[in-house]
Amino acid sequence: MPAKTERMRLWGLHLPPGIPRASDVNTVALATSYSLSGGQIKIIVHSGTMLPSTLPWFYISHRLGYSDHPLAV
């Protein structure tokens, strides 16, 4: 597992300052609080960027009763 300083660098690599994000995202706190690998950090950031774009589909599919899709809620 990467050390805290390496995790801080990885969070910064995947969440550079120009990327839109919530004002309360604290990469130092994330690196300090969670012992994650670089791959895990990448997946977390990727999931966080992709999930909002799919939420309308989840909501609509659920409301219309399309629950046969494996990702439908």
pLDDT at residue 69 greater than cutoff 70: no
Q: Which amino acid is it at 71? A: L
Q: If residue 46 lies in a helix (H) or strand (E), which one and from where to where?
A: helix 38-64
Domain ranges of the chain: 4-64
Tens-digit pLDDT profile for residues 10-33:
999 998 888 777 888 898 999 999
Is 12:28 a contact under the CB 8 Å cutoff?
no
Report residue 72's pLDDT band, with 50, 70 and 90 as the boundaries.
very low
Is 48:19 a contact under the CB 8 Å cutoff?
no
